[in-house]
């Protein structure tokens, strides 16, 4: 009798274990976006502006979510979601890109595929409506990983991507921002704390998207105009694979935003993946370590969004805010702006 009871106990235990394993391996999907990190404070935000950002983030992520839900690829979800953000003047990417010191536009973008570790990037382009698509074209239709300047513009045109006049990108908001940043710069050390805050706010606003599709493939993309008043063809982290963007099916997909120089020096996106791969950290632990200990330790600031191969996500920053949203397979939407939300 005792033996029979024990047998039943072990059979039910192993059934339960099988169920748990099956549940944890059930295909899932998810998507996370950011619209830049920085000195985003409640005190500087009207309720209308805040509502506009929240609404927009919710609408943009829905585009990628619908693709994933129908069984589409993480690559398509990332590209189409970033298109929506590149079309908006709210963010520092595509249409809303910031201006250089020469009052021109220089756009950077990159994309990486987690299954193949294929990657593509462009930097310093001036005429491509959707830089993220140019990065993907470099990955798919050239033997290279990164193209820059006029050559990258010409490549995108030869691939049939949409080309626009430079004027397309000039928005009043960015023209005014450049003027104010230049005025503050001219004052050098006599700059007031309000001006200092304004200048630091103009640094950011990049957009990024990471996604996990039903096949278990991860993808990451980042697109930006860089930093207001940038000079000498300065290039930030956004188009640098391993710094601003990284994806690996074995670990995670990451897109970064922040003070690019520090993100390049900390090799942020790859470092998060490496901490997961070599030290077994969770995506949250790895993102926290890199943003706070490494970037923060050097004196830099910004944030990342990430998703791992199980759909766990990280939205980590050491700035007062980061425009961000996450949508899981069940369609639960989580939109946040401030760090303390």
**Residue 272 backbone dihedrals phi, psi, to 5 degrees:** -65, -45
The strands making up 30-38's β-sheet, listed across from edge to edge, are 146-148, 119-125, 107-113, 218-224, 207-212, 30-38, 321-328, 333-338
Burial level of 339, CB count in 10 A (0-12/13-18/19+)? middle
* CA atoms of 23 and 249, how far apart (whole Å): 19
Residue with tokens 């074995």: 250
**Residue 147 backbone dihedrals phi, psi, to 5 degrees:** -120, 150
Region of 15-23, 79-87, 120-128, 253-261 interacting with ligand ASP (CB under 6 A): 253-261
| Token pair of 209 as six digits | 């998207």
- 205 contacts ligand ASP (rule: CB under 6 A): yes
Put residue 286 in one of left, alpha, beta given phi > 0 → left and psi -120 to 50 → alpha.
alpha
Residue in 73, 206, 222, 228 annotated catalytic: 206
Shorter beta-carbon distance to ligand ASP: residue 269 or 274: 269
Q: How far is the CB of 278 from ligand ASP (least distance, A)?
A: 25
Region of 4-12, 75-83, 198-206, 313-321 interacting with ligand ASP (CB under 6 A): 198-206
Q: How far is the CB of 104 from ligand ASP (least distance, A)?
A: 15
Query: Which residues, listed in sequence order, are joined to residue 255 by a DSSP beta bridge?
Result: 245, 305
Show contacts with ligand ASP in window 216-245 (CB under 6 A): 224, 226-227, 236-238
# binding residues, ligand ASP (CB under 6 A): 15
Strand bridging mode 119-125 / 146-148: parallel
- 321 contacts ligand ASP (rule: CB under 6 A): no
**Residue 320 backbone dihedrals phi, psi, to 5 degrees:** -65, -20
Shorter beta-carbon distance to ligand ASP: residue 93 or 281: 93
Q: Which of 206, 228, 255, 318 binds ligand ASP (CB under 6 A)?
A: 206
- 260 contacts ligand ASP (rule: CB under 6 A): yes
Shorter beta-carbon distance to ligand ASP: residue 240 or 276: 240
Region of 73-81, 177-185, 256-264, 318-326 interacting with ligand ASP (CB under 6 A): 256-264
Q: How far is the CB of 261 from ligand ASP (least distance, A)?
A: 7
Q: How far is the CB of 234 from ligand ASP (least distance, A)?
A: 8
For this structure, is 206 an active site residue?
Answer: yes
Put residue 311 in one of left, alpha, beta given phi > 0 → left and psi -120 to 50 → alpha.
left
Active site residues: 206
- The binding site for ligand ASP (CB under 6 A) comprises 36, 92, 204-206, 224, 226-227, 236-238, 257-258, 260, 263
């Amino acid at each position: 009798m005792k033996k029979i009871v024990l047998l039943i106990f072990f059979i039910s235990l192993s059934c339960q274990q099988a169920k748990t394993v099956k549940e944890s391996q059930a295909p899932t999907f998810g998507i996370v976006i950011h619209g830049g990190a920085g000195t985003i404070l409640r005190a500087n935000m009207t309720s209308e502006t805040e509502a506009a950002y929240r609404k927009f983030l919710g609408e943009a992520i829905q585009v990628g979510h619908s693709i994933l839900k129908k069984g589409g690829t993480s690559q398509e979800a990332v590209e189409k979601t970033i298109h929506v953000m590149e079309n908006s003047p709210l963010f520092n990417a595509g249409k809303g890109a910031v201006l250089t010191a020469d009052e021109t536009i220089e756009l950077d973008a990159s994309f990486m595929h987690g299954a193949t570790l294929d990657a593509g990037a462009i930097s310093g382009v001036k005429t491509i409506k959707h830089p993220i698509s140019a990065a993907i074209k470099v990955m798919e239709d050239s033997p290279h990983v990164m193209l820059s300047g006029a050559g990258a513009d010409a490549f995108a045109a030869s691939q049939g991507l949409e080309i626009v006049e430079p004027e397309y990108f000039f928005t009043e908001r960015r023209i005014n921002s450049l003027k104010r940043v230049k005025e503050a710069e001219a004052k050098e050390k006599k700059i007031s704390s309000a001006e200092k805050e304004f200048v630091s706010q103009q640094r950011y606003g990049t957009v990024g998207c990471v996604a996990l599709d039903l096949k278990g493939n991860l993808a990451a993309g980042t697109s930006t105009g860089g930093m207001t008043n940038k000079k000498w063809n300065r290039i930030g982290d956004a188009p640098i694979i391993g710094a601003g963007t990284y994806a690996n099916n074995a670990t995670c997909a990451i897109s970064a935003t922040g003070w690019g120089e520090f993100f390049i020096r900390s090799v942020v996106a790859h470092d998060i993946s490496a901490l997961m791969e070599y030290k077994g950290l969770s995506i949250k632990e790895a993102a926290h370590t890199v943003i706070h200990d490494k970037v923060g330790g050097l004196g830099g600031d910004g944030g990342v969004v990430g998703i791992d191969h199980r759909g766990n996500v990280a939205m980590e920053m050491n700035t007062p805010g980061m425009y961000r949203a996450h949508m899981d397979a069940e369609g639960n939407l989580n939109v946040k702006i401030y760090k303390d939300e």
